[in-house]
Amino acid sequence: RQNVDLKWRRKEKDIKRLSQLQLFLLKTVCPYLKRNGVLLYVTCTLTKEENERIVEKFLNEFKNFRLQNIADHTPQYAPFCQKGIFQTLPYVHNLEGFFAALFYKVDD
């Protein structure tokens, strides 16, 4: 595993700062998507603040986006998907930790 000590070096303020940055990046790029466009949000972290909470905040603010099931596009990854979101967990899947959510723009 890469950076196995990262979870001990990362502070709560780092997670807050990074999650704010990630949400800012999503908000910045989403206006450039055309109708029916897709936006893939990916992280290599395991924190809910940087993953699920960002997805929730983004969808609450941008009503013209929907979460699309990643397994519909990549069926081979279906075992790693729950509620349409892709996630690998080192302690479950014996893989690096990754998170991915696919957003679909329904309207301008």
Domain boundaries, the chain: 6-105
Q: What is the dihedral of CA 11, 16, 18, 20, to 10 degrees?
A: -170
Cα 105 from Cα 77, distance rounded (Å): 23
30 catalytic per annotation: no
So what's the pLDDT on residue 62?
A: 96
Q: What is the DSSP string of the chain?
A: --STTHHHH--HHHHHHHHHHHHHHHHHHGGGPPTT-EEEEEES---TTTTHHHHHHHHHH-TTEEEE-HHHH-GGGGGGEETTEEEE-HHHHSS--EEEEEEEE---
Give mean pLDDT in consecutive 10-residue pieces for the chain, a chain of 108 residues: 54 89 96 95 92 96 95 86 87 84 92
What's the whole-model pTM score?
0.82
Cα 41 from Cα 45, distance rounded (Å): 12
So what's the pLDDT on residue 50?
A: 94
Does the domain at residues 6-105 carry the CATH identifier 3.40.50.150?
yes
Token code pair at residue 53: 């909470």
User: Which one of the listed residues 6, 21, 29, 44 is annotated catalytic?
Assistant: 44
So what's the pLDDT on residue 95?
A: 80
